[in-house]
Amino acid sequence: MFLTMIAAKIRSYFRYRETVRELSRLTDRELDDLGLSRSEIPFVARTHAAI
């Protein structure tokens, strides 16, 4: 059980980092088209990683 929880946390962290990386590559215009600003990237990434 403990190892399963650790593995899930690690997978969640990798999803978070990948989401931040992908969103950070977008231009401000592309982010605006999505209804996001640069300051919202960490929040969106945490939300995505928690799913």
Q: How far is Cα 29 from Cα 17, in angstroms, rounded to an integer?
A: 22
Q: What is the pTM of this model?
A: 0.87
Q: Which residues are CB-contacts of 44 (< 8 A; sequence separation ≥ 6)?
A: 19, 23, 36
Q: How far is Cα 11 from Cα 48, in angstroms, rounded to an integer?
A: 12
What's the pLDDT at 34?
97
Q: Report the share of the chain in percent with pLDDT over 70.
A: 100
What's the pLDDT at 32?
98
Q: Shortest CA distance to 37 belongs to which of 27, 51, 47?
A: 27
Per residue in 5-46, pLDDT (tens digit) is: 999 999 999 999 999 999 999 999 999 999 999 999 999 999
Per residue in 23-33, pLDDT (tens digit) is: 999 999 999 99
